[in-house]
Amino acid sequence: MSESDDGELTADIVELTEGWSLCNDDMYRIANQLVSLAFANKYFGADSNRQNLLRVCEAFYQELCALGDQVELRPNFDYERVYQLLIKILNSSSDAQDSEDVLVEEDKSTLFAICPISRRPITHPVSQRFSHGDDSCDHVFDHASITDLIRSSKGTNVNCPVAG
């Protein structure tokens, strides 16, 4: 093999590795989205949707199992544990018990207590709720966190850091 062949082979390997890493990132995002959908369906969805979501979860995790060691492990994220949580949520009856309703209400009351940027308690809340621009949002942030985000953007426009 010549040096140019070695260089092409190395470039091909790097390209395949980068592509596979992107696939692993997508699998992680899909797993997180499935968890979000499962909780949303548990409290607000219909039984038919729950059954469809359960089938999607099972198919996704069968594919993950088939990939085996090719799935990159992530710190603080265990696909098997997430799968067990999904099955538990989606196999439970759709009728929420009274105690679950109370927990949801408690969660709603503390929803804005954590800053979505820093994941720390909000000490000085700020928002664009009363702004009239096209880029305004209703999210509440801690003043220090949003100030740091704007400062780190170095003069470029900053969109809402919360997806959706």
Q: Which long-range contacts (CB under 8 A, 24 or more apart) does 97-102 make?
A: 100/43
Q: What does the alpha-carbon distance between residue 145 and residue 120 come to, in Å, rounded to a whole number?
A: 9
pLDDT over 70 at 89, yes or no: yes
Checking if the pLDDT of 32 tops 70, the result is yes
For residues 119-144, average pLDDT: 75
Tens of pLDDT, residue by residue over 92-104, are: 754 444 445 545 5
Poorest-confidence range of 12-16, 38-42, 62-66, 86-90? 12-16
**pLDDT, position 111:** 47
User: Residue ranges of the domains in the chain?
Assistant: 3-95, 110-152
141 in helix, strand or coil?
strand
Q: Which residue has the higher pLDDT, 151 or 77?
A: 151
> What per-residue confidence (pLDDT) applies to 11?
65
The arithmetic mean of pLDDT across residues 56-83, rounded, is 82
**pTM to 2 decimals?**
0.46
Residue 107 pLDDT greater than 50, yes or no: no
Q: Quick check: 105 pLDDT over 60?
A: no
| Average pLDDT estimate for 99-118 | 57
Place of tokens 């209400």: 105
- 129 versus 83: the higher-pLDDT residue is 83
In angstroms, rounded to a whole number, what is the distance separating the alpha carbons of residues 122 and 140?
Answer: 9
- How many CB atoms are closer than 10 A to CB 149? 14
Q: Where would I find the beta strands (DSSP E) of 37-152?
A: 125-127, 140-142
CB 107 within 8 A of CB 100: no
What is the average per-residue pLDDT within 110-131?
72
